[in-house]
Structure 1
Amino acid sequence: MWHPVGELPARVYWRRRVVVLVVLLALLGGLGWLAFSLLSARGGGDAAASDRYEAVPEPALARVVPSLAAVATPDPPPVAEAAAEPQVAAPEPLAGGPCTDDMIALEVRTPGSVPVGSKPTFEIAVANVSAVPCVRALDKGLQEIVMVDSAGNRVWGSNDCFPEASSDLRTLGPGEVVTIPLVWGGLTSEPTCSAPRVNPAPGSYLLRARLDTKVSPDASITLV
């Protein structure tokens, strides 16, 4: 095949063969370059994508503000115990001042038992239980003894029908006791003294004394 046969000169055939060979080589070279470019582009794209995912810089905010897990939360300070309020001592009684209810003791004294219809004498005992002398009004209008039955019903009061008035400002020394007698007429009464007055029925009753705002414990009396 390397010895061309034909009507044309031999150089013409050689020239054609060289052209065909050059075209084939160019075609093969172009195909090879195209395949290499495709492979290179594909590999470069993967590498670029990998670089994009691997080389993403840390956000600026994350570099400035630490994460919550990295921040150490300080323990709350211990709650201080509330300071105990100082106890305010009660003022000392003033010598020569008024006898307050806390400075006196009040008691009603009875014979214990009396006959129905009799006129017994009861007593109100006022005692200064403080350590200093003090002044208390013992006016008759401030004194009262009330009798109640076992159910608490009022039976008699010393100021119901014959109230008395007087002015008696008394200085009581420490431990001094003043006794005030009150006579009961033996009959029932009520504050207006308008109801009929009768002898209470025999039985047990209670007497309660009062000196202005101070009230005594109850004392028993039996009518027989």
Structure 2
Amino acid sequence: MLHPVGDLPAGVYWRRRALVLGIAASVLGGGGWLVGTAGSSAEAGTRVASSSTEVQPSLAAPALEQVVPSLAAVQTPSVTEPSAEPAPASSPEQAPPAVEAPAAAPDPGQPCTDDMVSVDVAPAGGQAAVGDKPTFTLVVTNVSGVPCTRTTDAGLREIVLLDAAGARVWGSNDCFPEVSSESRTLAPGEAASFPLQWGGRTSEPTCTAPRTAPPAGSYALQGRLGTKTGPATPFTLT
């Protein structure tokens, strides 16, 4: 081993042996380094695991008094006691407006006064021939805004015929007065009609004067109900 044998000079063989030994030493050194590195890594992993295990106790849940604040530290809002002094009386300007009570419903049985009704005569066509017997109609209308009741007895209803000078020519109650007892309840704007036929001759309240047919000309018809007298309505005899 220490004395090389061969045809080459001895220096050549020594150099080869030195090269082989160097390579072997490198291989051995590299293997030792790998083993050391692996050991260091394992040791480092063990240290990390140990450190993690040691840290766990420090992550324990904090004590209850550290999470929930002390009740003494919480400020409870104070409740202001109501003042015992009476509130000042409101001035008249601040008082609410008074509410008017609704008007009472009208009594349908209240009487119709003269101001609450109108009395008119509707002549048949506005004219008639001398000697004819036309029918006139007495119309009583409630001109108020409430219902009311009016006595309409036949003895209170009358139609008169007046000449152009305003003299009385005929009256429906002169010779043949009618008697009845009746009344009408009229709603606002409602009218009651009472037809009456004229005999075509003159008359007067005592019905003692001769009765004749009035001549042709211009006349007027006027209606009455008790104390209420209506306006004159033109009428012509031909």
Contact 2:108 2:149 in 1 (8 A): no
Tell me the distance in 2 between the aligned counterparts of 1:190 and 1:145: 13
* Equivalent position amino acid for 1:106 in 2: V
Which among 163, 169, 172 is matched to residue 186 of structure 2?
172
Helix, strand or coil at the partner of 1:208: strand
Q: How does 1:40-189 map to 2 (within 5 A)?
A: 95-110=108-123, 111-189=125-203
Q: Give the TM-score, by structure 1 length.
A: 0.57
- Unmatched segments (≥5 aa) in structure 1: 1-91
Deviation beyond 3 Å, 4+ runs, structure 1: 92-95
* Equivalent position amino acid for 2:201 in 1: L
> What residue number does 2:56 align with?
none
**Could you report, residue by residue, the CA deviation over 1:185-223 in whole angstroms, capped at 9, with x for unpaired residues?**
000001111111111000010111000011110001100
CA 1:210–1:93 in structure 2 vs 1: closer, same or farther (change >3 Å)? farther
Tell me the distance in 1 between the aligned counterparts of 2:214 and 2:159: 16
Helix, strand or coil at the partner of 2:112: coil
- Identity, % of aligned positions: 59
Cα RMSD after superposing both structures: 1.4
Tell me the distance in 1 between the aligned counterparts of 2:174 and 2:106: 35
* Equivalent position amino acid for 2:138 in 1: I
* Equivalent position amino acid for 2:154 in 1: K
Helix, strand or coil at the partner of 1:217: strand
**Structure 1 residue 152, shift from structure 2 partner:** 1.5
**Could you report, residue by residue, the CA deviation over 1:94-133 in whole angstroms, capped at 9, with x for unpaired residues?**
5420000111111111121100000000011111111211
Q: How does 1:12-31 map to 2 (within 5 A)?
A: none
Helix, strand or coil at the partner of 2:115: helix
- Unmatched segments (≥5 aa) in structure 2: 1-104
**Could you report, residue by residue, the CA deviation over 1:137-175 in whole angstroms, capped at 9, with x for unpaired residues?**
010000001111111211100000000000111111111
Rg bigger for which structure?
2
Contact 1:93 1:130 in 2 (8 A): no
* Equivalent position amino acid for 2:153 in 1: D
Tell me the distance in 2 between the aligned counterparts of 1:94 and 1:104: 16
Tell me the distance in 2 between the aligned counterparts of 1:207 and 1:168: 24
Tell me the distance in 2 between the aligned counterparts of 1:133 and 1:93: 7
> What residue number does 2:205 align with?
191
Contact 1:114 1:223 in 2 (8 A): yes
Tell me the distance in 2 between the aligned counterparts of 1:158 and 1:93: 35
